[in-house]
Chain A
Amino acid sequence: DTEVTQTPKHLVMGMTNKKSLKCEQHMGHRAMYWYKQKAKKPPELMFVYSYEKLSINESVPSRFSPECPNSSLLNLHLHALQPEDSALYLCASSSPIPGGELFFGEGSRLTVL
C-alpha cells in the first residue's frame, strides 16, 4: 500500500480542457514533488514544494500550475495542454532535510487528445 495517494489514476482530456491532478500524504512530510515520466524514460522533476512554498520550478511551461494548499495536499492544475504532455505524472513526498527519501505515489496517467 502506497502512503502517497494520487487521483485520478487515469485522465483523458482535450487540449482546451482544464483539469487537476491531486496528491495527498499523511506521513508528516514537509516536502512534496511533481515528476513527469514519459514511456521508457526516467522521471523528470517538475516542481518541489518545501514547507508549502514553491522551492524548485524546473522551467515547466505555464500550462502546468502547481498548488500546495496545506502540508498534506499537492495539486497540479492543467490547462491548454498539448498531446506531447501525455505522460505518467508522479507525486512524491519526503522529509525536507537533504537526502530525505522520496516516497512516490502510483501516478496519474494523463492522455491529451
Chain B
Amino acid sequence: AQSVTQPDIHITVSEGASLELRCNYSYGATPYLFWYVQSPGQGLQLLLKYFSGDTLVQGIKGFEAEFKRSQSSFNLRKPSVHWSDAAEYFCAVGAKAAGNKLTFGGGTRVLVKP
C-alpha cells in the first residue's frame, strides 16, 4: 500500500523568502504524485503533478516540485512567497494498481510573516 509523510506540520516563512515543503512517499513502483493547496474552509486545488518524464515539474502560482526516486521524495518549492500563499499544503500519492485512490500526507500549514 502507498503512504505519504510530510515531516513538517507547520512552517513559518517571511514574505519574499523562499519556501520548501518536504514530502516522502512509500510505494513499490513509480507513483503518481500530487501537491494540493487548501485555503481555510475551501476545497483542494491542484498545484502540480508528476507522472513520468522530467523530474522537475512546474505548477501554478510559481510553484515547482522535484521527484527524486533515490530519496522517495517529492518536495515542493517556491522562490519567493506571497502573503496569499498562507494555506495548508497536502502531498498525495496515487498508484496505477489502486485506480484513482489518492493517499494524502498529513499536511503542512504555511504561515507567512509580513
Does A106 reach chain B (CB closer than 8 Å)? yes
Q: Is the CB of A104 within 8 A of B43?
A: yes
Q: Is the CB of A43 within 8 A of B44?
A: yes
Q: Is the CB of B49 within 8 A of A101?
A: yes
Q: Is the CB of A99 within 8 A of B51?
A: yes
Give the interface of A toward B (CB within 8 A): 2, 4, 31, 33, 40-45, 48, 50, 55-56, 90, 92, 94, 96-107, 109
- Given A42-B90, A42-B106, A98-B94, are A90 and B43 neighbors across the interface (CB < 8 Å)? yes
CB proximity to A under 8 Å, residues B8-66:
32, 34, 36, 41-46, 49, 51
Q: Is the CB of B100 within 8 A of A42?
A: no
- Given A42-B107, A98-B32, A98-B94, are A31 and B100 neighbors across the interface (CB < 8 Å)? yes
| Given contact pairs A31-B100, A42-B104, A104-B36, a sample of 7 additional A-B residue pairs in the complex whose CB atoms are under 8 Å apart | A41-B107, A43-B90, A43-B104, A45-B102, A50-B100, A55-B99, A99-B96
Q: Is the CB of A102 within 8 A of B96?
A: no
CB proximity to A under 8 Å, residues B91-113:
94-96, 99-102, 104-107
Nearest chain-A residue to B104 (Cβ)? A42
Given A41, A48, A90, which contacts B100 in the complex, CB threshold below 8 Å?
A48
Q: Is the CB of A48 within 8 A of B43?
A: no
Inter-chain CA distance A3–B90, complex, in Å, is 20
Q: Is the CB of A48 within 8 A of B99?
A: yes
| Smallest CB-CB A-B distances: 7 pairs | A42-B104, A104-B43, A99-B32, A98-B96, A104-B44, A106-B43, A105-B43
